[in-house]
Structure 1
Amino acid sequence: MSEHHLIETLAGVSAGSPLAGALAERSAIMAMSQASHDAVLLPREPGGISHAERAALAARMAQWNGDTALAAQYRDLLGRAGETAGLAAIASGMAVEQLGATARLGAITRHADILTKTVKEASRADIEALKAAGVSEPDIVRLAELAAFVNYQVRVIAGLRLLGEVA
């Protein structure tokens, strides 16, 4: 494996381990996951959701999923992307009602929470709440992509950690 990807790093995959060997044979999947990370977190054209907002939301989602290492990775990205006190509060998992965020950012954060904690309960009303707060349809799609990716990433890392323990 010539290039160590974020998922492998956070899963604690050791070079030369049987798990590293198995992943090397599936290197295209790891490369695509890394490319997805870059496209979702650091796109050239972020639209109405800035890189810093994306990093704060990703840290929040990782935290809600109990992956402190991934949350720390995204808090580090937040620091490089332009951390503010409000975004740090979002990243920390503070309750939306306590954030003091704008209606737009509060709605985005609330929706990220829904997509992470109670996705089965998501409804058309949640999308309408985003629109009412001034979130454009392309940004609603961007938010869904971010949530899907971070939640995928958490699960892949957890699975690889388990495999590493039994290998």
Structure 2
Amino acid sequence: MSKAAGGATARSVFDFSVRDISGAQRELGEWRGQVLLIVNTASACGFTPQYAGLQALYHAYRDRGFVVLAFPCNQFGGQEPGSAEQIERFCSVNYGVEFPIFDKIDVNGAHTDSLWRWLKDEASGVLGTEAIKWNFTKFLVGRDGQVIRRYAPQTQPDALRDDIEMALAPS
């Protein structure tokens, strides 16, 4: 579960605190000044092979200040039923994931995680809809903590390279 620090109104991604896959509370501010790709993920989805592409992006750009943040979600077809340990092991063994994975969250509905509520408010989807439509919806966030763009689940990670390059370029 995420929360804005001190219950304050969030002005950027860096104002949120999130629980990682091991249960530790982490401040997104620890990635201040980096470009983030925030993704809702699932281990038993037709889009699950995107983990390989996400890891490739992380590997290619991490030394330039880029990080992928994965948030498992079981809201779409029950495609992320595993425990934290099972999710972490699945990602490591099957896709060599090295980027941070967080606690399972809801991205829609009454129990929507506060970070994801903020992300949806900042960048709507197709035809202005806020709801996340499926697993592997992606949000590219600039070094300033503001959402640059939202990508549909079917958008392959490799298709984000130009946008990532632009976000990483010196201003």
Settle same-fold status: TM greater than 0.5.
no
Q: Please tell me whether Structure 1 or Structure 2 has the larger radius of gyration of its CA atoms.
A: 1
The structure that is helix-richer by fraction is 1
Structure with more of its chain in strand, by fraction: 2
